[in-house]
Amino acid sequence: MLMKQGRRVLIIHADRDKLDSVVNGTDGFFPKLAERALRDGIQTRVVRAESKVAAMMSAPGLRNVHITMGDAPRYVPDALHVALGPVSGFWYLDEVGVKANSSIRFNQFAPERIEKEPAEYFFNGVTGWMLSHNVSPIRQPARVDGGLDRARATIFCQEIERHTHRAHFLTTEEMIRTVAEHERERLIYLKPHPAQSKPMRRDIIAVAQDYPNVMVTDASVHDLAAAADIVVTQNSGAGFEALMQKKTVVTCAKSDYWQATLTARTATELREAMDYGRASMKGFPYEKFLYWFLHRHLLEVAKDNFADRAWERIADKVFL
């Protein structure tokens, strides 16, 4: 049981572009969390991150409970971090951060400790739904009947160089040029992020134009992963989604799913991964990894025990 704290409030810190979804409950996460908090007599309030109200509610001595949305880690007492996970319906709720900043990045994956049957059941259920219905955290174009032409690699881009705290080992340009110059004969797909800034998209297209076999495309991440021998990214969620198809993935940045990828810190390591990656990842237990990552570390909002699991994490961090 949680210790009851008089007039303690659960504060949701959301950036301006996420305020509406939190307030309206369209994400599904916060309404259930607020309902569970109320069972312990704790009200929920949503504030704009970094606002004066947020600062006031965070004043020392109030001992409110803070849930922060966003990638940047903030090591504050009485606070956890929340974000949508790399697969739709699964959420981070982490005391360190989310995505590449989450505590999962520091954990070791031990497949021998995971039972095969529940892992396979979970994997087949999740991947079957996501792939057959073309579901992704970001809306994708319709899948192509018969699939795309086969490719040597698919590169998923993002805007990681803009982050305040450096997480990438290779820049987007270094990643593209290394793959393209190492494989000049076979097709390479290059997908900008759906939210790619116009300047970054122009830069990506300019680099791709130097290589006749590189095709810039906005096709579905699921089609692009299916068509490729190998998937290359920095730490995009699209790389994680490729694991649902048991693809060899190379990550060129700090990542919380590195345990299921080959990490390339240099151009040489990326070339080696291109040459030997599929052989080195042969037999990797993708079913157990997705079960370990999604089921054990993230929270599935559709499950009946979602709110209790979320509240237990908050209790462990804040109340006990």
pLDDT tens-digit series, residues 34-93: 899 889 888 888 888 888 888 887 777 677 888 888 665 555 667 899 999 999 999 999
Q: How far is CA 146 from CA 222, 223, 255, 288, in A?
A: 13, 10, 32, 29
Model-level pTM? 0.92
- Is the same domain home to 128 and 80? no
> Is residue 154 located within the same domain as residue 274?
yes
For the stretch 93-120, pLDDT in tens is: 998 889 999 999 999 999 999 999 999 9
One domain, residues 193 and 46: no
CA 172 vs. chain centroid, Å, equals: 18
Report the candidate in 130, 138, 67, 63 with the shortest Cα–Cα distance to residue 98. 67
- CA 280, 286, 290, 293 torsion: positive or negative? negative
Residue 59 and residue 119 in one domain: no
CA distance 261 to 318: 33
Evaluate whether residue 90 is within a structural domain: no
Confirm whether 105 is domain-assigned.
no
The total domain count for the chain is 2
Together in a domain, 302 and 166: no
- Min mean pLDDT across 71-75, 119-123, 251-255, 262-266 is at 71-75
Q: Looking at the domain assignment, is residue 97 inside a domain?
A: no
How far apart (Å, rounded) are the C-alpha atoms in residues 98 and 109?
A: 18
- Determine, yes or no, domain membership for 138: yes
Read off the CATH number of the domain in which 254 is found. Answer: 3.40.50.2000
Q: Is 92 contained in some domain?
A: no
Phi, psi of 145, deg, nearest 5: -60, 130
Residue 150 lies in a domain: yes
Q: 57 and 17 in one domain?
A: yes
275 and 131 share one domain: yes
Is 95 inside any structural domain? no
| Predicted pLDDT at 72 | 58
Question: What's 80's domain CATH number?
Answer: 3.40.50
Q: What is the pLDDT of residues 146-171, one digit of tens each?
A: 999 999 999 999 998 877 778 899 99
pLDDT band at 3 (very low <50, low <70, confident <90, very high): very low
* Same structural domain, 44 and 145: no
What are the residues facing 45 on neighbouring strands? 11
Q: Answer yes or no: do 35 and 116 share one domain.
A: no
CB atoms within 10 A of CB 305: 10
Q: Interhelix angle for 198-208 vs 172-182, to 10°? A: 20
Question: How many CB atoms sit inside 10 A of residue 146's CB?
Answer: 6
State whether 75 and 134 are in the same domain.
no
- Identify the domain containing residue 315 by its residue range: 9-85+298-319
Q: In what order do the strands lie in the sheet with 248-251?
A: 214-216, 188-191, 151-156, 228-233, 248-251, 262-263
Compare 123 and 22 and report the one with higher pLDDT.
123
**Pair 115, 217 in one domain:** yes
Q: For residues 167 and 250, state if they share a domain.
A: yes
Cα–Cα dist 150/241, whole Å: 18
Residue 2 has a pLDDT of: 42
Instruction: Please indicate, yes or no, if residue 43 is contained in any of the structural domains.
Output: yes
